[in-house]
């Protein structure tokens, strides 16, 4: 590989089978990396056991292979990375950038913005539950390759946010940042439902001294009611009887114009030659079939 290779990734949580919404993120991240001559990695985000569906990680990996997508490195499981999250939190605490917090959800104001109650110490008589990042007033704006300029300010969006939860589990925001750095990821391509998390992730990257990857947030598929088509909304698993059609639909959703009726192998060949990210609709959600 070249000295500064492009590295993309797909990072599903094993909370259900691969569905159309996650397939779109898989196909987009795959083509954006491969067409730049880069690598595509797969990370299973299994750090929240209560939300996991047994067997779904294996089924996601098998389904991706069946659809023609093979990662360039062995699959990384977040459940094997807990010590790294622990180290990152320890470093942040030692540098005064993170602190223990005794507040529970019911102590938070309706705005959801943490008022900093425990920033200067836990109030007398309370015990530490979670750990929060001390968010500064810095500017964490970024230019997304599809959504354009995003100027979210973590300080006013969420305030100091949780990086280790009261149940002892590490928060998604922390794990994703530590692992994108560990896997040398240079571009994050995922659904626009995660757009709002990105400024918090950039904030964590800066606090940990990491590089910030490029971001591309793809429109997400929504239901008639405008809800994200995802595992939680019982979206149908991908029809594995016709993998070429599933990939064709994902490409069409992303604004590409593949010829119909190609075999899976020919469709990938076409996609690797014709992928054009400038055709991706510049919006955050789309009703499938209305592309």
Residue of the chain from 6, 7, 8, 11 that contacts ligand GLU (CB under 6 A)? 11
- Is residue 27 close enough to count as binding ligand GLU by CB under 6 A? no
Residue of the chain from 67, 176, 203, 254 that contacts ligand GLU (CB under 6 A)? 176
Q: How far is the CB of 71 from ligand GLU (least distance, A)?
A: 14
Q: Which is nearer to ligand GLU, 160 or 180 (CB)?
A: 180
Torsion angle, alpha carbons of 266, 31, 178, 139, to 10: -160
Residue of the chain from 45, 46, 152, 179 that contacts ligand GLU (CB under 6 A)? 45
Q: Which is nearer to ligand GLU, 129 or 164 (CB)?
A: 164
Whole-angstrom CA distances from 199 to 27, 128, 142, 149, 189 are: 24, 26, 8, 12, 15
Q: How many residues sit in the footprint of ligand GLU (CB under 6 A)? A: 7
Which range, of 8-16, 237-245, 267-275, 283-291, touches ligand GLU by CB under 6 A? 8-16
Helices (H) and strands (E) in the chain, counts: 8, 12
H or E stretch including 87?
helix 82-94
Q: Which is nearer to ligand GLU, 84 or 117 (CB)?
A: 84
| Separation of alpha carbons 87 and 102, rounded Å | 21
List CB contacts of 100: < 8 A, sequence separation 6 or more. Answer: 118, 122, 128, 129, 130, 131
Residue of the chain from 6, 7, 12, 76 that contacts ligand GLU (CB under 6 A)? 12
Q: Which is nearer to ligand GLU, 213 or 258 (CB)?
A: 213
Give the sign of the dihedral formed by CA 107, CA 109, CA 110, CA 111: negative
| Separation of alpha carbons 214 and 72, rounded Å | 20
Residue of the chain from 81, 132, 164, 190 that contacts ligand GLU (CB under 6 A)? 190
| Separation of alpha carbons 53 and 15, rounded Å | 5
| Separation of alpha carbons 19 and 40, rounded Å | 19
Q: How far is the CB of 34 from ligand GLU (least distance, A)?
A: 17
Q: Kindly list the residues in this chain that would bind ligand GLU in the complex (CB under 6 A).
A: 11-13, 45, 176, 190, 194
């Amino acid at each position: 590989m070249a000295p500064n290779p492009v590295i993309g990734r797909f990072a599903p949580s094993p909370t259900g089978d691969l569905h159309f919404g996650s397939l779109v993120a898989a196909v987009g991240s795959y083509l954006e990396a491969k067409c730049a001559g880069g690598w595509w990695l797969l990370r299973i985000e299994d750090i929240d056991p209560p939300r996991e569906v047994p067997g779904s990680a294996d089924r996601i990996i098998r389904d991706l292979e069946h659809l023609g997508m093979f990662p360039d490195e062995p699959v990384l499981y977040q459940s094997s990375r807990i010590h790294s999250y622990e180290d990152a939190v320890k470093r942040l605490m030692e540098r005064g950038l993170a602190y223990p917090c005794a507040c529970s959800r019911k102590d938070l104001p309706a705005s959801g913005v943490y008022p900093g109650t425990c920033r200067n110490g836990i109030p007398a008589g309370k015990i530490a539950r979670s750990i929060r990042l001390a968010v500064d007033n810095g500017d964490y704006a970024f230019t997304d390759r599809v959504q354009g300029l995003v100027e979210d300010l973590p300080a006013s969006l969420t305030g100091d946010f949780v990086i280790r939860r009261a149940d002892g589990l590490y928060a998604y925001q922390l794990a994703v940042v530590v692992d994108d750095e560990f896997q040398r990821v240079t571009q994050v391509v995922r659904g626009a439902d995660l757009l709002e998390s990105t400024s918090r992730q950039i904030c964590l990257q800066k606090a940990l001294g990491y590089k910030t990857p490029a971001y591309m947030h793809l429109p997400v598929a929504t239901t008639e009611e405008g809800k994200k088509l995802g595992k939680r909304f019982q979206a149908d698993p991908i029809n594995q009887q016709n993998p070429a059609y599933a990939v064709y639909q994902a490409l069409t959703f992303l604004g590409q114009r593949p010829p119909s009726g190609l075999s899976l192998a020919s469709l990938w060949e076409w996609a690797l030659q014709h992928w054009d990210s400038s055709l991706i609709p510049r919006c955050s959600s789309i009703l499938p079939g209305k592309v």
